[in-house]
Every structure is written in C-alpha cells, then in structure tokens.
C-alpha cells in the first residue's frame, strides 16, 4: 500500500498538463487501474483481511483522488495566469466609438408640433388609418361629386363581388379623427390629430403617403381672432423667431366657413429661408371656422357652439425648418440624403421602419 501511495502521489506532483494527469487517474483509479484491481481482490480474502485491507484501500483511493483534484485545479489556475499574462487588456483605454442615429426628421417635427400645441392646451387625438366613407367625407360636408371622392385622388379598399357595404378608404386627411373626437368628448374641446394620410399623388413635393396635423378648438365664443393667435404662437415657437406676420387669404374648404389659406412673411435671400422678415409670403396651412354641418355631424349643436379648425403638412414643416428641398429625401433608401441635412441616421435597413410614432 505504501509503495502505491508514494508512486502515485509522486506522479501527480510531477505532472505538468491535464492530459498527463488524466492518464495517471486512469492508471490508478480507472476500471483497470491498480487500486481498482486490488479492490476486486477483497472478495478472495478472509473477513478479517477484508476489513483491514479494504479500509486501507479506501483511504488510499480517497487520498489519491484528492491529490488529483487539487493538481487539476492548480493546473487550471496556472493556465489562466499564463493566458492573462499573454492576453492582457488595458482597461484605461477609451471605448470604441459607436455611431449614433437620430430621430427621423418627420418624427422629430411631429414631437415638436405636439409639444407646442400641448402648451396651449391641445390634447392629442388618434383614429384609424382605414376610414369609412362617412367619417372621411360625408361628416366633413364633402359632397358626393367632389373630386377627392374619385379613384384618381383616393385609395379605395377592395370589395369582393356582392359586398355592398359603404366603401372604406385610406384616410385622405386626419379630419375624421376630429369627428370621432367630437362624438366621443362633445364640447368644449381642444385637440390636434397628427398622423399618416394617403392620396394618389407623387412628385418632388408630394408622396402617396405623408403626414398631417389638424387641430380644432370648440367653445361658445371662439372666433377667427382666437385662430390667428394660436397660429401665430405656434409659428413663433416652431420656427424659433420672436415675431411672425401671418396673412389670411379667403379660400374654400367644404368643412369650414369662412375658410382661409394662411401665408407667413419670409425672405429667400441667398437661397436661405428666413421666417418673420423680408417681402415674400409663403403658404403654410389652411384654416377656417368649422362649418355648422360638421359640428352637427360631430353631435354638437352649432346654435350653441362654434369653433375653428386648421391643418398643415408635417413633412412640409420639416422641409421648411431644416432646409430640405426634396420631399423624397425622407423616403429614399440612400441615407446620405438625411446625413446631408444633419440627420445622421444609422446605416441600417430598418431606419425607416417608423416614420412616426
């Protein structure tokens, strides 16, 4: 027993790698190892010899197993120390720079517009992008023969043969959201409705899908003067100027009466747009006092309540504020468009996954 003990303890102490250590373990404690074979001989011994020899073999087996485990742990520690010495890392070095993306300009402008109107007490209302004919047209006093209700202007949802339900469309404006808000909340009310809208149009300044924000305020004594003040305050905050001058031009919209196009004083000196100065005028939105028929469609008595409404394109606002001349810059897959105008979006195919939130 003593010879076996000294033999294997010396071998374990002198080993230098785990492969050699495993060979020693198999030679001593494997199925055909020396100690294992001696354990099998216990059956041939007398009870007295078996008791004495078995105890000694168990003690020897445990001692060698403990030596093997300790040596294996020591070899692992030594290997780790060697690796750390070879593969050291200077944790004081600055981290690798990562490119950071930015919010898409349309989303950014939508957030800005929402915040400005929120400061003036306007809540945000939302509605479906697929609208029924009544909410999108009839409730807004748009006559059946109006060009906007024709297929060359509006995306109509496909109907199976024999399906005689009223038509559904991709909403052409966010005005239906105002109808839904009036029906849900009644008067008085003050809301804006930002979101995607769809029209069959495509050129340098139009796309089939774009973004609008429309707003309305209804009360007992609301007038065009209130509308003018709200729009002036919005323009000063959005374009970050101390003063603006707006010009209201008589126009016609089915859902407002009277109606007005709104122009803002500006200058184009040096090819740069400056708001609030100069001798030029630029149209930015449409507005007016809400038509009595629209109030009635929203469940509000026009004999007791009146209000104003307005609507503007968010994409156009982004183009004006950030000097982007081509609307297609927002939607083309070449991200150099946006980078050129200060929106250094990440070069990932999903960057346009959410143009608005």
**119 and 80 belong to one structural domain:** no
Q: Which residue has the tokens 């950030």?
A: 322
Q: Which domain holds residue 258?
A: 105-341
The verdict on residue 112 lying in a domain is yes
In a domain, 301, yes or no: yes
Angle ∠(60,66,72) on CA atoms, nearest 5: 135
Last residue of a domain, one of 31, 56, 86: 86
Q: Does 244 lie in the same domain as 316? A: yes
For the annotated binding site for Mg(2+), the residues are 257
Domain assignment present for residue 97? The answer is no
Report the SS3 class of residue 318. helix
- Compute CA distances 197 → 137, 211, 324, whole Å: 14, 6, 21
Do the Cβ atoms of 259 and 287 come closer than 8 Å?
A: yes
Token pair, residue 323, equals 């000097």
Instruction: Say whether both 21 and 131 belong to one domain.
Output: no
| Same domain, yes or no: 66 and 152 | no
pLDDT digits (tens, 9 = 90+) for 320-357: 887 776 655 555 545 565 665 556 555 443 333 333 33
Taking every pair of Cα atoms in the chain, the longest distance, rounded to a whole number of angstroms, is: 122
91 domain residue, yes or no: no
C-alpha span between 224 and 221 (Å, rounded):
10
- Shared-domain flag, residues 72 and 213: no
The tokens 């109509």 sit on which residue? 156
SS3 state at 266 = strand
In a shared domain, residues 224 and 150: yes
Q: How far apart are CA 24 and CA 33, in angstroms?
A: 9
User: In terms of domains, do 58 and 129 share one?
Assistant: no
Residue 191 pairs in a beta bridge with 123, 216
- Please check whether residues 17 and 144 belong to one and the same domain: no
Binding residue positions:
257
Number of helices and strands in the chain (H, E): 11, 10
Q: What pTM did the predictor assign?
A: 0.66
Claim to verify: residue 199 and residue 241 sit in the same structural domain: yes
Task: Work out the mean pLDDT of the chain and round it to a whole number.
Answer: 84
Residue 181: what pLDDT? 96
- Is there a domain that residue 352 lies in? no
The CATH code of the domain that includes 152 is: 3.30.930.10
pLDDT value at residue 276: 86
Residues 81 and 136 in one domain: no
| Distance in angstroms (rounded) separating the CA atoms of residues 182 and 139 | 11
Cα separation, 21 vs 325, in Å, equals 75
Q: Examine residue 356 and state whether it is found in any structural domain, yes or no.
A: no
Spatial separation of the C-alpha atoms in residues 323 and 272, rounded to whole Å = 8
How many domains are contained in the chain? 2
Q: Does 79 lie in the same domain as 111?
A: no
Instruction: Note the pLDDT of residue 353.
Output: 37
Q: Are residues 147 and 192 in the same domain?
A: yes
Residues of the chain with pLDDT under 50: 333, 347-357
Helix (H) or strand (E) holding 196: strand 189-198
Buried-state track 111-140, b at ≥16 Cβ within 10 A, e below 16: ebbbebbeeeebebbebeeebbbebbbbbb
Residue 354 lies in a domain: no
- CA dist., res. 186 & res. 298, Å (int): 8
Q: Are strands 168-170 and 189-198 parallel, antiparallel or unpaired?
A: unpaired
Helices 18-29/2-14 angle, 10° precision: 170
pLDDT in tens, 20-77: 888 888 888 888 878 777 777 777 788 887 778 778 878 888 888 888 889 889 988 8
Whether residue 285 is contained in a domain is answered as yes
């Amino acid at each position: 027993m003593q010879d076996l003990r000294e033999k294997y303890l010396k071998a374990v102490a002198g080993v230098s790698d785990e492969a050699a250590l495993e060979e020693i373990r198999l030679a001593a404690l494997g199925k055909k190892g020396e100690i294992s074979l001696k354990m099998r001989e216990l059956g041939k011994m007398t009870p007295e010899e078996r008791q004495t020899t078995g105890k000694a073999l168990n003690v020897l087996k445990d001692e060698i197993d403990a030596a093997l485990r300790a040596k294996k742990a020591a070899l692992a520690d030594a290997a780790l120390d060697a690796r750390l010495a070879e593969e050291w890392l200077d944790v004081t070095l600055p981290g690798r720079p990562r490119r950071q993306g930015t919010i898409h300009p349309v989303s950014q402008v939508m957030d800005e517009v929402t915040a400005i109107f929120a400061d003036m007490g306007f809540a945000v209302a939302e509605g479906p992008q697929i609208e029924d004919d009544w909410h999108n047209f009839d409730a807004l006093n748009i006559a059946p023969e109006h060009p906007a209700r024709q297929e060359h202007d509006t995306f109509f949802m496909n109907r199976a043969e024999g399906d005689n339900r009223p038509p559904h469309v991709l909403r052409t404006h966010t005005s239906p959201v105002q109808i839904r808000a009036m029906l849900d909340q009644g008067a008085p009310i003050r809301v804006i409705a930002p979101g995607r809208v769809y029209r069959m149009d495509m050129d340098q300044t139009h796309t089939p899908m774009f973004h609008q924000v429309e707003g309305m305020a209804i009360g007992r004594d609301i007038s065009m003067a209130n509308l003018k003040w709200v729009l002036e305050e919005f323009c000063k905050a959005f374009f970050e100027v101390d003063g603006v001058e707006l010009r209201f031009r008589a126009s016609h919209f089915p859902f407002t009466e009277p109606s007005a196009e709104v122009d803002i004083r500006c200058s184009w000196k040096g090819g740069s747009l400056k708001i609030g100065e100069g001798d030029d005028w630029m149209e930015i939105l449409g507005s007016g006092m809400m038509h009595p028929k629209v109030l009635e469609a929203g469940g509000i008595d026009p004999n007791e309540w009146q209000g104003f409404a307005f609507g503007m394109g968010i994409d156009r606002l982004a183009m004006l504020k950030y000097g982007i001349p081509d609307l297609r810059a927002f939607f083309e897959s070449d991200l150099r468009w946006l980078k050129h105008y200060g929106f250094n979006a990440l070069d990932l195919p999903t960057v346009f996954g959410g143009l608005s939130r």
